[in-house]
Amino acid sequence: MKYRRLGSSGILVSPISLGTMTFGSPVREKEAVKLTHAAIDLGINFIDTANVYEGYDRVLGSPGGVAEEIVGKALRGKRDKVILATKVGAPNGPGPQDVGLSGTTILNALDASLKRLATDYVDLYIIHWPDEHTPLETTLSAMETLYRQGKIRAFGVSNHMAYQLCELLWLADKYGWPKAVSSQIPFSLLKRDFQNDLKFCADYDIGVTPYQVLQGGLLTGKYKRGKPVPKGSRLDESPGWLSYPEDTVLDQLEATESLAGEAALPLSQYSVAWSLAQPAMASLIVGVKSHDQIEDAVEGAKASIPAEILAGQDAITPPPYRHKAPFSRPSQI
C-alpha cells in the first residue's frame, strides 16, 4: 500500500478510506466489525465516519451515532493503527443545538462522538456541511479550541466549494488558526461537477477525499441495460438512495467499461484508478458490504491508467467547462 499525504497535515493515509455510512443498515454490527478488521489487515489505515451515520435507517434529524459506536467497538486494541475521521454539522436530533456549526454545537458534538468512538481524540474532524447562519470565525474558533485541547489533530471540510475553502484559508491566516487540510466532495468519473476545484486544492495543499467514487454501485458494472436490478445492490435494497440510470448514463457506462477493458481492468478498479489519477487526491472513501469489495478497491488503488486512455475518458464523461482568461498577464508593465 502506497500512502499519500493528507494535504498539509503531515498525516499519511491509504489511498482507500473505509466509508461507514452503511454501518448499522444494511451492514450490521458484527459484519461491520469484521469488515473494519479486514480493511486494516489489507493496509487501509483511514476510516471515515460521522455523528449522523446509521445506514439506510437514517432520516433527517434522527439522532445517528450508530456507525460511530460500531467503529469504536471495531477499533478496540487497534486505535493506534488508523487515522480516524468523523464529522459535525448535519442534523442529529430535534433540538436547536443539534445542527449547525456554532461553538456550543461543535464542542458538545465532539465530546459525544469521542464517547461513542471510545477514543480521546480524532485525527481529522470534518465540517459536514456549510452553515450559513453561523459566522466562519465562530466555527474556526471552536476548531482552534479543540485543536489546542488535543481532541483533534487536524480539521477538514465536506461539501464545500473552492470559494468557501478560500475564505476559510484566509481567516485561518488572519487569526493564526489551524487551516483546513482536506476537502470531501461527491466525485466520480460520472459526477465531475467539482473537477475545476481540484486545481485550487492542489495549489493550496488541501487533500481531496471524495465520496461516491463508485456512484452507488453504478461504476461496478453490476447494472446492465435491459437486465433486472441485481439482488443485494443499493438500488434493490434502498431505491430512495439511487435511481435507475437513464439511457444516456447507460451509454456512458458501456463506453467506459469498454475503455476499462483496454486498460485490462474491471470497471470498478478502473473507476478507482481514474479517480486517484486526478489532481490533489489523497484518499477515496469507499463503502463496502463484503471482503471482496474491499480487496477490489485496494487492487484498483494499485492500478495505473495510460494517458491516452485517460484522455479517452474525457471524451465519454467530459469535465465541466473551464473559463479561460481573455488575456494573459503581461511580462512587463
Catalytic residues: 53
**In which order are the strands placed within the sheet that holds 152-158?**
207-208, 180-184, 152-158, 122-127, 83-88, 46-48, 16-19, 284-287
Distance CA 41, CA 18 (A): 12
The residue behind cell 489551524 is 178
Going from the C-alpha of 259 to that of each of 164, 178, 223, 273, the distances in angstroms are 35, 42, 17, 13
Distance CA 248, CA 330 (A): 44
For the record, the C-alpha cell of 6 comes out as 493528507
Among 105, 10, 112, which Cα is nearest to 51's?
Answer: 112
